[in-house]
Copies of this chain bind each other. A is one copy, B any other.
């Protein structure tokens, strides 16, 4: 399971401020802190970047690339910002992402063909509502692959994000279990090793207590890994969750085990 730092978000006040002032230092400082924890990639969550999408995306990508060669996950719902990301980035990129929403199918999906990069497909209805049942989700997945094929994007480029639900939703805990089944079923249903990405932070939306959040996250990340999740968007600065996530990655993917796979710096 590849761990992607989800820490760089435009919603953090001092990062928002850094963009306004075009000062890359706060972004660099945050990313350098994340790099110490050895993520596989850095998610750049810029939200839509309303007014100046190209300048905004350029600012973030340049700031991040000034400190790392790791893959970048370009996380925006704005096709203009995504296009800018594709054009500006030198590092390997993953586009995050598209859904069945027509605007995204026509404006974001084709960018994955143009730059031959991987693209995340969200298991959401065209109106952005979340499907409820396993079968609804599997149908949406099939449609996402159909749209990708029509756009000339190979099925191996598509990473499915089943959308981890907040437990605080009325049926959130049931939905959280359905997600596990969907991750497990997709490869056998579609007949090839479908890759999946999940964002852990949604699970505990509304948690008042950081320790409760951690306990739920590290339990659920083990379940996601067992289901076969390939990429986890995770708070890479939360040591406990990250250690369990790495251990879960080993238990769910390796063919041989040795005690040395669990380095002493991972201990809780």
Contact = CB atoms under 8 A, between A and B. Distances in A.
A36 to B, nearest CB: 20
B256 A215 contact: no
Nearest to A254: B173
B227 A215 contact: no
Contacts of A256: 170-171, 173
A221 to B, nearest CB: 8
Interface of A: 167-168, 170-174, 176-177, 180, 207-209, 211-212, 214-216, 218-220, 222-223, 225-227, 240, 243-244, 247-248, 250-252, 254-257, 259, 262, 264, 266-268
A174 B207 CA distance: 36
**Taking chain A's interface residues, is the majority helix, strand, or loop, or is none over half, making it mixed?**
helix
B244 A167 contact: no
A168 B257 contact: yes
A185 to B, nearest CB: 12
- Identical copies of this chain, number: 2
Nearest to A212: B262
A243 B251 CA distance: 20
A268 B240 contact: yes
A170 B219 CA distance: 27
B207 A219 contact: no
Contacts of A259: 168, 207-209, 212
Contact of A222 (B167, B170, B172, B219): B219
A226 B257 contact: no
Given A244-B218, A268-B268, A173 B226 contact: no
Contacts of A222: 218-220, 222-223, 226, 248
Nearest to A227: B226
Contact of A248 (B174, B223, B247): B223
A177 B267 contact: no
A262 B214 CA distance: 11
A247 B267 contact: no
Contacts of A218: 218, 222, 244
Contacts of A227: 226
Contacts of A170: 256
Contacts of A177: 226, 251-252
A267 B226 contact: no
